[in-house]
Structure 1
Amino acid sequence: MSSRRGLVGLGIGVAAAGAATAAGIATDRIVRARRRKPEPPVDPQLEQDGQVVVADDGVPLYVEIDEPDDAVAGTRGGTTVLLVHGYTHTHAVWSRQRGAIRSAGYRVVCVDLRGHGRSGEGDDASYTIAQLGRDLATVIEQTTPEGPVALVGHSMGGMALMALAEQRPDLVRTRVIGVALISTSAGGLSDVNFGLGRKLGTVVHRLGPSAIERADRRPDLFNTARTVGRNVESALVQRLSFGGPVPRSVLRELAEMIFATRMHVIGAFMPTLMEHEREGTLAAFDGIETLILHGTRDRLTPITHGQRLAELLQGAELVVVKRAGHVLPMEDPELVSRELLAFLERAERSAADR
């Protein structure tokens, strides 16, 4: 394969993963990571803002907890809101919602999923949505052993909530008062063409995992790709993540999250995303207040997936955000905060009536 074709395949493959790294600016990070010793797990005693929850297979999961002011919390029912980010992102994707939720009197728990952000890495075989469901059960048990819980998941985070419900229907039935699913899907992602058209979309699915594997083995390919420049990187992140223009600072913030995710982690998660089929699991959410938020220009998880969730979750509120893309918490943060607060109000009222 020529170097040019190899770079094209690499770019397509990573774009399929939602990483948008064809510009290759992650090269220096990958090279540095291989030259220095692996960083130790986050020590909760050294972190001012966070703590570590140890998963069932020993992987340290980084968690941050926001406690509400006692006076404000007294007006609530002691609800904890668990915020779960998506593929190649971190808990920072919720930075614009956390303050609003805490100020409204709710306790907030944010987690970095395994292999993402400050959390540790597991075996590649552990990078499955099923394992993420088990991880979330552990996070809830260790950070919120009692009291009502509202679950909020974006993209892969929403899929992880479905896995949690599949594995722990008892927990959902007895403690969960609401579920918010943002830019996510119950299945059928193997048919998504990422806005590239059917033919090119098929090529993306075929080349994606192998291209990412080559990228992890050959960081020198990224050195060549970097000559393309940041303009291409910005254009790809923009196209795959947002429905319209966003401030440059937002674009860079998201890119930093994406490029901090190791390539082998990105590649290892791809199969579980394509295989995710949990429509039957959604019945576990029956009778629970449910919110679905989806953008009309979401190229990674098209709006049809949100509409399908609304069909399957009777009584769910579907909020369609026109001209918005995949990363709604960053693209339209005020709308997402407003809808989440209204959802939490409804969830507490509904729980009180049951």
Structure 2
Amino acid sequence: MKMLYIKHRSGKVMNNFAISAILAAKELGIDFTIANNMSMADKEHFVQVCKRYEIQMVHIDFDRNPLGKSNFLARKQLLDLMAKEKYDIVHCNTPSGGVVGRIAAAQAKIPKVIYMAHGFHFWKGAPLKNWLFYYPVERILARLTDRLITINREDYACAQRFHYKRGGSAAYVPGVGIVTKRFESNAEERTKMRKALGIKEEEIVLLSVGEINQNKNHKVVIKALAQIGRKDIRYVICGIGSLMEANQQLAESLGLRNQVMFAGYRTDIDKFYQAADVFVISSFREGLPVALLEAMSAGLPCVASRIRGNVDLLSDSRLLFEPRDVNGLCNALMEGIDKNIAEKEVKRNYQTLPRFSMEEAVKAIKQIYTDMINELSTIG
């Protein structure tokens, strides 16, 4: 049994979406190949991943934009690969991988096609243009799909209304799978990391992790920090992106130069969770955020924008806020800093986490792969 796993690009390291799929496939003895754009990848890391899991990896010239010109070349590359390798199952991910991959799979007559939505680009409260473009595309391409996997309840409800290939359907998988032990709190590590960062023990550290772009909306946190006006609160942002300079300028203009730290791209994120007191995620759109799951695993109270994905994980409305509401965020941050409230929130988070573990994700994906294999056996 041969499977082609398609995503538009690799980050510097392998993400949990791919790892959980690899583990599920290997348990079933599936020959597994990943096709994606490797231009940004840490090549040495991926060579080691391929050796460890005994998988193959192929570069495809995907563009992040589904309408990008290079995706025409990507479709041809996929068709050539599919014709040569004769895969039984194709598992597509992300908008570009989902569009180009499913069209190519249909043209190549691949028997079984899976698409995993990491968060539809249309959601409650999304801009009208997103609904006008992405919704019809997903609805049409569902007809080329045997199983559409969603990772949050809002997307699952929407996907259930689509029409699929004969016998096809929507499925819900609880997230991407997180290895909780990596992020367990450690007092010694906390002290060491705070010292390395130049943060005093009595200071309160807010932490955000993710690409610095418009969607992640770090500026609302910076504005809230200025409005709160407390000098003992530091805000650390781990990540890089197109709006990094703009956010630095905003912090400077608000007199927060010494309170906002831009830590850049980090491979030691677990140490930053140890050093923090409150995690903040202020995005406009998420599927099911890995960073939020990691923060929950690290025992941090989490303040989050009230959006799809975040609300699947957090239940305390006092720690939720509307993405553009600076006043609401100020209130939520003060609640998160309160030790009594934080302690209750952390306990609730620990009760929630087991449903989103790597083991649960692998179990759910393995069942979907098993269903595809069983359906193939009845066909052929």
Determine if the TM-score, normalized by the shorter chain, exceeds 0.5. no
TM-score normalised by L of structure 1: 0.40
Larger radius of gyration: 2
TM-score normalised by L of structure 2: 0.38
Higher helix share: 1
Higher relative contact order (CA 8 A, sep 6+): 1
